Structure formats: C-alpha cells, structure tokens
Structure 1
Amino acid sequence: MKIRIATHHDAPQLAELLKHWDRHEFEFQRYVNRRGPNGQGTHVAERDGSIVGWITGSHANENANEMGDYANRPKWRCSVLLAMYVDVAHQDDGIGTDLVEAFLKESGEHGNNMT
C-alpha cells in the first residue's frame, strides 16, 4: 500500500468512496466534477492502483487560540483533521492508522503542536 498526497486527478476515486455515505451527497457531486481536496493536508491510500482510503484536514489553523481549551495559548497553531474515509472492503487493514500517521507527520513538518 502506498500513502501519498492527493491530486485533483484523484477526485473521481474519492467520490467513489463517498458514495457509501448518504450524508455526503454534496461532496460526492463536487468530487465527481473534479473539485475536491488535494495538496497538503489530504492524503490517499493506494493499493494496486486504486484509492482505498483518504484523509483530509488543514495545517493552517491559526485561530486555535479562539477554541475554549486553548484560549490561554497565544500564537498556538494546530492541525485540524476534517474527514477520513476507508473503503468498507478494506477496513481493519490498518489503512486508517497509516493515513493518520501521514497526516500527523505532515503536521509536525508544518511546526504545529502535537500535544
């Protein structure tokens, strides 16, 4: 399995993963039209040329000090994990763990706090 940064070319395959979750119809349609998350903060898990999972978030949350628990930490930055999807047929294969580890590694590379 390969974990890599997503590109806009991945959007149709990301949409395929979303189609199993009814509450994500808007995102499904957006990704079908190649308008989905890509670049830093978004990783895909690829197995045998097919995307079997993906994770997306942001490493530029400079407003973390406005969140209740972090109000007393000036200039504290963090990464925010927004969503993660793993193909039902590939759950329990460690894909989710690998995606989270890639996201956390990238977070550290951006100098964001890990605690």
Structure 2
Amino acid sequence: MNDSKEHNQVTIRPAGPADIPGVRDLLAQMPRWDSAHRSMLRDEDLIALNSEGKVIGWLMGNHVSEAWKNVIGYEMADSWLCSYIAWLLVDGSYRSNGVGSRLMEAFRRNSVAAGRDTIIASPQSGEYEEKLLSFYSRLGYRRAASGQVHRGPWGPPENVPLPKSEVNSRSTAPDPEAEAIMQEYVQRLGYRQ
C-alpha cells in the first residue's frame, strides 16, 4: 500500500500518447472492460501521476458543446457552452486520497479557460454509483433525472436522488442505450478505437 506522503505527490497534466499503457492499466481495473479495446486520448484528457511517474488517474473529457446539444434530460439554449466528462478513473490504491478531486478541478479550470459554463458527466458505476454520486455532490454537481450530473447554470436546478430501485440494484450489466450514446459520441468526435 502506498503511504499518504506519496499520495500527496501527485502531478496532474494533459494526457499524451506515451500515457496510453498506463491508462490501459487503469481500465483493466474496471469491470466489463474489454482488454482488446484500444484506449482513446484527446487533447482535453488529463492524467494523474504518482511520484514515480505511474499513471494513477485519468479523466477523459472534451469542451465540444455541439456534441452534447441533445443530452437527455436537458433543455439547452442554442448558445449553451458545455464541457463533458466521459470517464474518470482512479487507481484502486489511490482512491479517497484526493486524486479524483484534483483531476476534476483541473478539468473545471480548463473548461472555464475554454469559455464553457457547464460541465456534464454520466457516472455509471454499477454497485458503486451511490458513492460516486456522493463524490460529485461534494464537488457541487447536481443529478438530473436522466442520471447525468452537472455543474453550472444549465440543467435542472434540483438534485434528483438515486431511485431506490437503483440503490438496491447491484447489476453491472451495461446499459445498451448508454453504450449506443457513447459509441455515437466516439464517432462524432473522432476518437480512434
């Protein structure tokens, strides 16, 4: 186990091609991850490195508002400016040590610098979804009825709790509709798979 001193020595920076093996290692910790699938990186992606330079966190996102104009559950004006987080992964031995929060804060600063006023994410983590929603809530995000969370002026002002049926569910089966939306997103934004 890593000591807390090492956990404090975390570097956040833009991801690059050399980080793909480390990102793939993080993805291998995820249930349902197909190891034959290739990692996708874009300019907006961020990684967290420990003091030895090992990838311990990855945030995959973008600042392309047009790709999310039809996000389910949001009534957006034509002029809305949005960033979107597709993946947020932290190595299991580094969770609950601020790595995810640091990645989120760095992405928020980049979003503001890109002129965006709202960030949307789709946290889907099966049995850990309730804990993940608590994490987003601590960072100021609200949950919409559609399941996405958002921070900024767009989207419903209230925070919709996770339905009891979802809280009690421990299913990890992928949601076909969410998977289809993600594949369309991947194609529209030019990710290479």
Shorter-chain TM range is 0.7 to 0.9
Higher percent of residues as strand: 1
Q: CA RMSD for the aligned pairs? A: 1.7
Instruction: Give deviations 1:56-115, integer Å, cap 9, x for gaps.
Output: 1110122544344234x1211200110110000001110000000011111001101141
Matched position secondary structure for 1:4: strand
Unaligned residue ranges in structure 2 (runs of 5+): 1-9, 119-151, 153-193
For this pair of structures, how many residues does the alignment match? 108
Indicate the residue corresponding to 1:44 in structure 2.
47
Indicate the residue corresponding to 2:23 in structure 1.
14
Paired letter, 1:18: L
Structure 2 distance, partners of 1:10, 1:4, is: 11
Paired letter, 2:43: G
**Identical pairs, percent:** 28
TM-score (norm 1): 0.84
Say if 2:81 is the partner of 1:77: yes
Highest CA radius of gyration, 1 or 2? 2
Structure 2 distance, partners of 1:97, 1:11, is: 22
Contact 1:61 1:78 in 2 (8 A): yes
Paired letter, 2:82: C
Unaligned residue ranges in structure 1 (runs of 5+): none
Using CA pairs under 8 Å that are at least 6 residues apart, name the structure with larger relative contact order, 1 or 2.
Answer: 1
Matched position secondary structure for 2:102: helix
